[in-house]
């Protein structure tokens, strides 16, 4: 007997997607679509928050509702709600496409929610594809289609290749007689991870998730997609979709037990390459969204450190890192969206004089950049501290040192952005930044979160520990 109440948030998101589908058939009315989207996202968020304590197993054991998945669902719907809040001026997308835009966002959110709960490799694969396909189309929705279409196609091709690798890996695992069910896998895998076929299967199986969080070498889509996607869609990809990717990656790697030298070695190379490449390439960027894309690649590297530590601390720090990324990246994209006029892309220098044009946004940007660079007392500092502590606990001191060097490199380009916002004189021709009161309020909330979780992170850490305890049933 299936307990459908456990599935209520997902069902609601499905219904919301259906509603947008109906709306997309009628005459386009952007204001109506926006209002509906906000209500839907708010209801979805409260429904997910209500379902936090739920526990249970659905659909013949392939779908597990536990604290880990429920909290990640809250993160995902929160991100979804905030991205919707930033859609007041969705000028990067043609008016008649707005309802489709919300439809795809809702479907993707649904897919990411499923992703956090799936405990069967095939179900995970399906959820991952569903979320990716909606994103491929979202990228193409950019007004003035050519560039968006090209990047969307590239995104699709790289994603399809990554999926192919992943499916191949799953097939190898299945071929060696392993179960595709995570709980069974967690029992058998730690003993057999040293077998070549199992190792290759597992590593290839990770491809799809590495693609999702834009880790090396599956990061090639990130800069172009960020640049070409509508700003709001880019914000969604950078925050919500990352959180879903981190969640599923943590669940899968947790099945590998203590890891095994070769797997850890592989993940280390991925981690070091991601952060070094991301940070170095970000230095040379002028377009703010491209810069944020490379910074995402670098942060994927830091997240990998948490994952490859293969200890309890690593898991909880990974959750905390996902939260911090969500808060900080969302703040950055809020500034991108508000400063850009007509949904265009902005260069770093377009931020000139932001502290006069929009003081609250500038302060939020400053704290978010400090957080991304890991400067105390921000949430980003605490997140990095936790991740590095986890790595040291597992004895990977040199990895932490490499990461520290990377943090220093990253400081360079984050401060470049900050310099533009605070020390450059605004251009005469710079269009005014209109910030509605609600967004100022949102910025203040984000500032508060950034600082509060940096100074007093204990409740968040405690929650993360509770979530990751018994992550594999």
Partner 1 sequence: MPGASVISETWLWAGWAAAAAPFAAFVLILFLLRRRPGAAAAVSLAAVATSMVFALCLLVCCVDMETPLRSVVTWMISGDTVISAGVHLDGLSLLMLAVVCGICLLVQVYSLGYMAGDPGFARYYAFMSLFAGAMIFLVLAPGLVQLYIFWELVGLSSYLLIGFWFEKFSASRAGKKAFVMTRLGDVAFLAGLLLLLVRGGVMDIAALSNGAAGLSSGMITVSAVLIFGGVIGKSAQFPLMTWLPDAMEGPTPVSALLHSATMVAAGVFLIARMFPFFSQSDAAMTFLLAVGTVSMLMSATMAMVSRDIKQVWAYSTISQLGFMLMALAAGGYFAGVFHLFTHAGFKALLFLCAGMLIHAFHSNDMFVIGQGGARGLKIPMLCMAVGAAALSGIWPFSGFASKEAVLATLVSLENPAWLIAGLAGVFLTAYYTFRLVFIIVFPAGRGQTRAEDPARGVAYAYGAMAWPVILLAFATLVLGFLAAPIRHWLAAGAGAHEAVHGPAWLAPLSLGLVFAAIAVAWVEFGRKNASQTGFVERVRVVAELFARRWYLDDIWGWAVSRLLDRGAAEACRQADNRVIDGFVHSLAGAAVASGRVLARGHRVMIQARLMIMFAVVFGLTCIMLIWG
- From the list 57-65, 100-108, 198-206, 322-330, the region that binds partner 1 by CB under 8 A is 198-206
Distance in angstroms (rounded) separating the CA atoms of residues 235 and 411: 22
**Does 363 participate in binding partner 1 (rule CB under 8 A)?**
no
Quick one: which of 114, 18, 27 has its CA closest to 64? 114
- From the list 16-24, 126-134, 269-277, 311-319, the region that binds partner 1 by CB under 8 A is 269-277
**Does 445 participate in binding partner 1 (rule CB under 8 A)?**
no
User: Given 3-state DSSP classes, what are the helix, strand and coil percentages for the chain, each rounded to the nearest 5?
Assistant: 75, 5, 20
Binding-site member from 147, 154, 192, 347 for partner 1 (CB under 8 A): 154
Beta carbon nearer to partner 1, 39 or 161: 161
**Does 434 participate in binding partner 1 (rule CB under 8 A)?**
no
CB of 207 to partner 1, least distance (A): 7
Residues 154 and 167 sit within 8 Å (Cβ to Cβ): no
Binding-site member from 145, 194, 427, 434 for partner 1 (CB under 8 A): 194
- From the list 92-100, 126-134, 274-282, 333-341, the region that binds partner 1 by CB under 8 A is 274-282
Q: How far is CA 75 from CA 7, 184, 324, 412, in A?
A: 17, 28, 11, 30
CB of 266 to partner 1, least distance (A): 5
Q: Which residues pair with 347 in a beta bridge?
A: 287
**Does 356 participate in binding partner 1 (rule CB under 8 A)?**
no
Distance in angstroms (rounded) separating the CA atoms of residues 329 and 79: 10
**Does 335 participate in binding partner 1 (rule CB under 8 A)?**
no
Residues 415 and 374 sit within 8 Å (Cβ to Cβ): no
**Does 262 participate in binding partner 1 (rule CB under 8 A)?**
yes
Element (H, E) at 63: strand 63-65
Binding-site member from 281, 315, 367, 420 for partner 1 (CB under 8 A): 281
Beta carbon nearer to partner 1, 165 or 233: 165
- From the list 27-35, 217-225, 302-310, 446-454, the region that binds partner 1 by CB under 8 A is 217-225
**Is the N-terminal amide bond of 63 cis, ω within 30° of 0?**
no
CB of 20 to partner 1, least distance (A): 32
Residues 338 and 435 sit within 8 Å (Cβ to Cβ): yes
Distance in angstroms (rounded) separating the CA atoms of residues 121 and 170: 7
Dihedral sign, Cα of residue 405, residue 406, residue 410, residue 412: positive
**Does 200 participate in binding partner 1 (rule CB under 8 A)?**
yes
**Does 280 participate in binding partner 1 (rule CB under 8 A)?**
yes
Token look-up 């949430």 returns: 379
**Does 220 participate in binding partner 1 (rule CB under 8 A)?**
yes
Binding-site member from 42, 149, 266, 452 for partner 1 (CB under 8 A): 266
Residues 348 and 421 sit within 8 Å (Cβ to Cβ): no
Six-digit token pair at 359? 């003081």
Six-digit token pair at 364? 């939020």
**Does 426 participate in binding partner 1 (rule CB under 8 A)?**
no
**Does 453 participate in binding partner 1 (rule CB under 8 A)?**
no
Binding-site member from 199, 373, 387, 447 for partner 1 (CB under 8 A): 199
Site residues for partner 1, 388-417, by CB under 8 A, read 409, 412
3-state secondary structure of 56: strand
CB of 394 to partner 1, least distance (A): 16
Binding-site member from 209, 216, 236, 460 for partner 1 (CB under 8 A): 216
Token look-up 């967004």 returns: 439
Distance, first Cα to last Cα, the chain: 20
* Residues in touch with partner 1 (CB under 8 A): 154, 157-158, 161-162, 165, 194, 196, 199-200, 203-204, 207, 216-218, 220, 223-224, 261-263, 265-266, 269-270, 277, 280-285, 294, 409, 412, 456, 458
């Amino acid at each position: 007997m299936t307990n459908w109440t456990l599935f209520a948030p997902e069902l609601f998101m499905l219904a919301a997607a259906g509603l947008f589908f109906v709306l997309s058939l009628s005459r386009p009315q952007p204001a109506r679509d926006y209002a509906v989207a906000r209500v839907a996202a708010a209801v979805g968020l409260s429904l997910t928050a209500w379902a936090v304590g739920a526990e249970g197993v659905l659909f013949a054991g392939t779908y597990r509702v536990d604290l880990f998945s429920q909290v990640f669902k809250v993160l995902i719907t929160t991100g979804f709600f905030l991205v919707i809040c930033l859609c007041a001026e969705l000028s990067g997308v043609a008016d008649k496409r707005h309802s489709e835009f919300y439809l795809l966002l809702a479907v993707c959110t649904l897919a990411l929610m499923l992703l956090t709960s799936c405990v069967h490799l095939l179900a995970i694969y399906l959820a991952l594809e569903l979320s990716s396909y909606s994103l491929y189309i979202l990228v193409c929705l950019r007004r003035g289609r050519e560039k968006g279409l090209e990047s969307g196609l590239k995104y699709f091709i790289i994603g399809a290749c990554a999926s192919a690798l992943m499916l191949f890996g799953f097939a190898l695992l299945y071929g060696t007689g392993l179960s595709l069910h995570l709980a069974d896998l967690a029992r058998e895998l730690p003993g057999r991870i040293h077998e070549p076929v199992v190792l290759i299967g597992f590593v290839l199986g990770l491809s799809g998730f590495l693609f999702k969080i834009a880790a090396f070498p599956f990061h090639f889509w990130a800069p172009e997609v960020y640049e070409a996607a509508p700003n709001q869609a880019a914000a969604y990809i950078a925050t919500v979709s990352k959180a879903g990717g981190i969640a599923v990656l943590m669940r899968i790697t947790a099945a590998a037990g203590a890891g095994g030298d070769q797997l850890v070695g592989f993940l280390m190379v991925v981690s070091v390459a991601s952060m070094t490449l991301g940070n170095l390439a970000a230095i040379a960027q002028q377009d703010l969204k491209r810069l944020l894309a490379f910074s995402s690649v670098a942060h994927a590297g830091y997240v990998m450190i948490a994952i490859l530590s293969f200890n309890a601390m690593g898991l909880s720090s990974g959750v905390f890192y996902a939260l911090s990324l969500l808060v900080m990246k969302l703040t950055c994209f809020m500034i991108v969206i508000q400063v850009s006029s007509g949904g265009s892309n902005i260069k770093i220098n377009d931020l000139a004089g932001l502290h006069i044009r929009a003081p609250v946004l500038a302060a939020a940007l400053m704290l978010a950049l400090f957080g991304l660079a890991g400067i105390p007392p921000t949430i980003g500092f605490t997140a990095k501290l936790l991740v590095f502590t986890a790595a040291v606990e597992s004895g990977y001191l040199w990895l932490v040192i490499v990461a520290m060097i990377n943090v220093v490199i990253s400081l360079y380009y984050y401060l470049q952005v900050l310099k533009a916002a605070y020390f450059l004189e605004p251009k005469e021709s710079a269009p005014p930044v209109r910030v509605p009161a609600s967004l100022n309020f949102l910025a203040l909330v984000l500032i508060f979160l950034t600082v509060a979780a940096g100074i007093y992170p204990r409740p968040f850490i405690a929650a993360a520990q509770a979530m990751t305890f018994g992550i594999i049933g």
